């Protein structure tokens, strides 16, 4: 049996208890333990993983490991940021039926927040590409006028 500096048996991996909480003791607070639950982690989905890890007092790799133990592989911030930016683009474009599209994007943001393992829907990716193409087309028009 080997022990880490904080007295934990390192030959055994960290386990989640009956409630699905992962116990972790950051190096800065040796001897003190806190429980990392999905609800606690979900509050930080709107910031990059490195910043969230710093706020939790652990390394990025440790937070990624804890996330995997909680049941999701990747930090959802990039997906959520992409969807948020798409919603902003749709609001600026104000094409016919944009309110319905905004509601669908908000529903997708909510579902990814509840289950970070979900991928962005194919229809949303098509809309992302259309919005990108529209921006590119508008930039070309502006550049053509300027020259």
pLDDT band, residue 42 (cuts 50/70/90): very high
Q: What is the pLDDT of residue 40?
A: 92
Which single residue is written with the structure tokens 């579902």? Answer: 111
Are 90 and 98 within 8 A, CB to CB?
Answer: yes
**C-alpha pair distances (Å), 46 with each of 49, 77, 83, 109:** 9, 6, 12, 11
Instruction: Kindly report, residue by residue over 3-40, the tens digit of the pLDDT.
Output: 444 454 544 445 545 556 655 555 555 434 568 899 99
Q: What is the mean pLDDT of residues 101-109?
A: 95
Q: What is the pLDDT of residue 98?
A: 87
Cα distance between residue 138 and residue 6, in whole Å? 58
Instruction: Kindly report, residue by residue over 51-81, the tens digit of the pLDDT.
Output: 999 999 899 999 999 999 999 999 999 999 9
Q: What is the pLDDT of residue 23?
A: 59
DSSP assignment, residue 28? G
Q: What is the pLDDT of residue 140?
A: 84
Of 133 and 22, more confident:
133
Note the pTM of the prediction, 2 decimals: 0.70
Domain boundaries, the chain: 1-74, 77-146
pLDDT band, residue 102 (cuts 50/70/90): very high
Compute the residue count for the chain.
Answer: 147
pLDDT band, residue 138 (cuts 50/70/90): confident
């Amino acid at each position: 049996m080997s022990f880490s500096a904080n007295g934990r048996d390192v030959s055994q991996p960290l386990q989640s208890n009956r409630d699905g909480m992962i116990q972790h003791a950051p190096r800065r607070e040796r001897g003190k333990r806190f429980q990392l639950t999905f609800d606690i982690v979900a509050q930080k989905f709107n910031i990059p993983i490195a910043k969230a890890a710093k706020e939790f007092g652990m390394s990025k790799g440790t937070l990624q490991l804890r996330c995997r133990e909680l049941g999701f592989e990747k930090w959802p911030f990039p997906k959520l940021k992409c969807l948020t930016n798409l919603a902003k683009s749709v609001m600026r474009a104000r094409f016919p039926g944009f309110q319905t599209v905004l509601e669908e994007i908000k529903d997708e943001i909510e579902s990814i927040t509840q289950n970070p393992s979900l991928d962005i829907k194919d229809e949303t990716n098509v809309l992302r590409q259309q919005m990108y193409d529209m921006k590119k087309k508008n930039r070309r028009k502006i550049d053509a006028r300027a020259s």
